[in-house]
Chains A and B, each alone.
Chain A
Amino acid sequence: MIPKPELQWLAIGPELITAVGAMLVLLIGLGKGAKVRGTVLVLSLLTLAIALGFTIARFHVTTYGAFNGQVDSDELANVGRIIALSSALIAVVFGARGRSDDGRHGEFHALVLSAVCGMGLFVAAGSFVSLFVGLELFSIALYVLCALDAERAASLESGLKYLILGGLSSAILLYGTALVYGATGTFDIAGVAEASHRGVLVWTGAAMVLGGLAFKVSAAPMHWWTPDVYEGAGTPVTAFMSTATKSVAFLVLARVLTTSFAPESDAWVPVVAGIAVTSIVVGNVGALIQTHLKRLLGYSSIAQAGYLLVGLVGWEGSGIPALVYALIVYSAMTLGAFAYVLVLERDLGRDATLADLAGRGWIPEGRSVLVALPAFGMALCALSLAGIPPTAGFFSKFALFGAAVDHGYAWLAFVAVLGSVVSLAYYLRILVELYMHQPDEARAEAFAASLPAPSVAIDESGDPRDEVMTGEPSHPVPATPVRTPGRAPVIALVGVLLAAATLVLAFVPEPVLDLGCDAKMALLDVGSSCTDHQAAEETGGSSTDAAAASPEDVAPVE
C-alpha cells in the first residue's frame, strides 16, 4: 500500500496561481486581434497581482516540510516571491507594447508567469531536488524569453549564450548536489546539516553548489555572460532577469549556505568574500569603459552582486536582514533605471547609449516640469546605485558593509567602499550627461555608430541577406525590427514611481528591515535578537546569538 503523500497546497499557493495563469494566458493567446492582446495582458497582470496578494496575506504563515519535505515555505521564501512577482508585474508592463503583432501574444506572458512559478518553487525549496527543478523551470523560460524578444540576431545569440552558460552552471550545481547526496544520503536542505558524516566530499559539493548559484547571481568569475545577455535580450526581459533572478538566487544562496552548509561556514565565508572582491573589481572596472547603457547596467549589476555578497559574509550577525533590504532596494533602483532605458529606446527607435542621455534633464521652454521627471528618476536611480547618502542605496550598502565589519571582515568592507568610490565615475557620468551636456546630435550619432548592432543597420557593402533579415522595408508595421520611435508614458511613470520608492525605502526602512528580520529568524531561528528596527545597524551583539543557534533548530513546524 503506497502511503498518501502530504499535500499542503497552500504552501505553494503563489506557484499554483501563476502556473494556472500561465496556461490560461497561453490558451487565450491563441486568438488573434487587439482584443485578445488586451485580454492576455490584463489576465497576466491580474494573475501576478493575485499571487502577490496571496503571498502578502500569508506572509507569516510558514510551512516546513510540505510535500514530504520538498517545500519550506517561510518568510525568506515569501520575500523572494514578493520580489519576483513585483518584478514580473513591472516587466509585463514594460513588455506590454514591445511584442510584435503577429498573433503570438500568449507566449511572452506564459513564459514570464512560468518563470515566476519556477522562482517561487526555487526560493521555497526544501530539498535540493525541488531547488534544481525550480531553477530549471525559470531558467528554461528565461532562455526562451531572451531569444524571443525582437526579431534580431542579438536576441537569439544572447539566448544561446545564456543557455550554454546556464546549462554549464546547472550541471555544476547538479554535480555538487550529487556529491552532497553521496556524503550525507539526503537531498533535504535542512537534513544535510544534520548529517554527521561530513568531510571533503561535502566541501567539494558545497563549492560546486556555490559555483552554480554564483552564476545565477552573476558574481565573478561566473559573470561573463551578464553584459552580453543583458545587451542582447529585450529590455523588459533584461529588467526582469537582472532583478528577479538575482534576488531569488541570492536568497537561495543564503538559505543553502546558512542551513545545509552552516557547519562548513569557516570554509565558505572566505570563499564568498573572495568572490565578492572579484565581482566588485570586475564589475566596476568593466563598467568604466561602457557606452552602451544596458551593458553599463550589466557590469553595474555584477558589482552590485559583489556588494550583496559582502552582506552574506556577515550572515551570523545582521547580514541576512541587510541582504533582504539591499535586494529590495536593488530591485527597485535597477527596475527604475531600466524603465528609463526603455523610455529612451522607444524614443530613439534603437539601443540607447550614454550620449543619448545628453541634456535630457533640462526642462524645455514652455513645457511642464513633468517632462523632465523621468530623467530625474533615472538620476535618482543612478545616485542610489552609486550609494549616495539621501538614497536607499546608501543605507543598503551601509547595512551590508556593517554586517561584514561585525563579522571581522573590515578589509572586505574597505574594498567594497573603494569599489563604490570607483563606481561613482560611471554613475556620475549618467548625471553629467543628463544635466551638464548639451544634446549634441553629431556626438549621439557617433556613439550610435559605435553600437555593436544597431537594430536598423543597413550596410551598403554587406551581404544583402543580412539587410533583409534586419529590416522589413516593404510594409513597416511596428512588428518589424526597425523599431518605431515613440513614447512610453506608462513606463516613464513606473520608472518615476520606482525612483520615488528608493527614496521612500531610505527614509522608512523599518517595514522592509522587519521582513529581513523575519527571514533571518526563519533561517537561523535566532529568537528576539532581530526584533528591533535597528537590526541592520546592530553590532556584534547578535552574532553570538546566531552562532549558538544550530541548524537543528530549524525543525519542521507545521
Chain B
Amino acid sequence: MTSAFLVAGGINFDVPGSIFEVALFALFALAAVIGAIVVVSASDPFVSALSLLLNFVSLGVLYLMLDQPFVALAQVLVYAGAVVVLFLFVIAYLGDRREVFSDRRRAKLVWPFALLTVLGLGGILVGVIIGSDFPDTVSKLADTAAGHDFGTPSAIGETFLTDYLLEFEVTSLVLLVAAIGGIVLGLTGRARHDRMRKLMQTRSADQQKAVHASAEAELRRTRRTAPTAPRTDTAADADGGKEPAS
C-alpha cells in the first residue's frame, strides 16, 4: 500500500517497490517497541517519559503509513505535545521524590515475570492476529467505501459529527470531569502543603508541643466519647433529629 501523504512529501516508494515500505515499517516498529521497553524498564521516570515520546512519535509515523494523516497529527499533538509534556512537568515538579522508590528491591525477582507476561500475552495476541484471516483485506484504498477521502480531516469530521455526535459531546463532559478533578485534587494538595509549612515554621519547641498536645487531647476526647456503654446515643433519634454539637 502506498501512503499518499508521504508521496506528496516527495518520497515515492512505489518505485523501489515495497522494500522501502517494509524497511520504514521495520524501523519505526522497532523504535516503538524499544521506546515501550525503555518506558517499562527505566528506573528513572524522567527517562521513561522521554522514551514514551519516542514511542508516540513512531506510532505517529506508522499512522501515516496506514494512510491516516489526521490521526497521526492528533497523535503527535495530543500525546507527544500534551500528555508527555504534562508528565515531564509533573516529574520536574516532583524533583527528587520521583525516584524515591525505583523498584530496586524487586528488580531481580521481577524480570522473569515481566518476560513471561510479555511473551505470553504478546504471543497470544500476535498469534491470534496473524492466525486469523481478515474478512476482506483491502489493500488498495480506491476499493474501499471511503475511497480517496480516506483519513482526510473532512472525512473524519463528517463521521465524527454524524455517527458519533453523541460520543463527541460526551467526551467533552469527560474533559470537564477531568478538569474538575485536576482542580480539586490540586487544591487539596496545596491546602495540605500549606498547613504543613505553617507547622514547620512554628519553630519554637513549645509551640510544636502545644500543637501535638492539642491534637492528642482531641484524639482522647473522640476516643472517650465514642465507645461508652451501653449505647444510648446511637443515631436512632429520628424523632429528636438534632444535628450534634460534636
- Which residues in A have some Cβ–Cβ distance to B below 8 Å? 2-5, 7, 12, 19, 23, 26, 67-71, 97, 102, 104, 107, 110-111, 114, 117-118, 121, 129-130, 133-134, 136-137, 140-141, 143-144, 147-148, 151, 179, 182-185, 197, 199-201, 204, 343, 346-350, 356, 359-360, 362, 364, 367-368, 370-375, 438-441, 444-445, 448, 456, 458, 464-465, 467-469, 471-474, 476, 478, 482-493
CB contacts (< 8 Å) of B241 on chain A: these are 489-490
Select which of B200, B235, B238 is within 8 A of A346 by beta carbon.
B235
The DSSP consensus for interface residues of chain A is helix
Q: Tell me how far the C-beta of B199 lies from the nearest C-beta in chain A, rounded to whole angstroms.
A: 4
Indicate if the CB atoms of A200 and B237 lie closer than 8 Å: no
CB contacts (< 8 Å) of A471 on chain B: these are 215, 218-219
Indicate if the CB atoms of A151 and B185 lie closer than 8 Å: no
Indicate if the CB atoms of B177 and A144 lie closer than 8 Å: yes
Indicate if the CB atoms of A370 and B164 lie closer than 8 Å: no
Indicate if the CB atoms of A464 and B174 lie closer than 8 Å: no
CB contacts (< 8 Å) of B167 on chain A: these are 70, 129-130, 133
Docked CA distance A343–B218 (Å): 20
Tell me, yes or no, whether B100 is within 8 Å of chain A by CB. Answer: no
**Can you report 29 residue pairs joining A to B where beta carbons are below 8 Å apart?**
A5-B161, A5-B163, A26-B180, A107-B180, A118-B173, A121-B166, A134-B170, A136-B174, A137-B177, A148-B184, A201-B132, A350-B226, A359-B230, A364-B232, A367-B232, A370-B236, A373-B236, A439-B228, A444-B227, A465-B196, A473-B212, A482-B215, A482-B219, A483-B222, A485-B244, A485-B246, A486-B243, A486-B244, A487-B242
A-B pairs with the 5 shortest C-beta distances? Answer: A486-B244, A439-B229, A144-B181, A473-B215, A492-B235
Indicate if the CB atoms of A473 and B238 lie closer than 8 Å: no
Docked CA distance A144–B178 (Å): 8
Indicate if the CB atoms of B232 and A469 lie closer than 8 Å: no
Docked CA distance A141–B178 (Å): 8
Indicate if the CB atoms of B128 and A492 lie closer than 8 Å: no
Q: Tell me how far the C-beta of B160 lies from the nearest C-beta in chain A, rounded to whole angstroms.
A: 11
Count contacts between A and B, CB distance < 8 Å. Answer: 234
Select which of A111, A130, A476 is within 8 A of B218 by beta carbon.
A476
Q: Tell me how far the C-beta of A27 lies from the nearest C-beta in chain B, rounded to whole angstroms.
A: 12
Select which of A5, A199, A373 is within 8 A of B165 by beta carbon.
A5
Indicate if the CB atoms of B174 and A140 lie closer than 8 Å: yes
CB contacts (< 8 Å) of A440 on chain B: these are 229
CB contacts (< 8 Å) of A370 on chain B: these are 236-239
Q: Tell me how far the C-beta of A16 lies from the nearest C-beta in chain B, rounded to whole angstroms.
A: 10
Chain B stretch 152-176: residues in CB contact (< 8 A) with chain A: 158, 161-167, 170-171, 173-174, 176
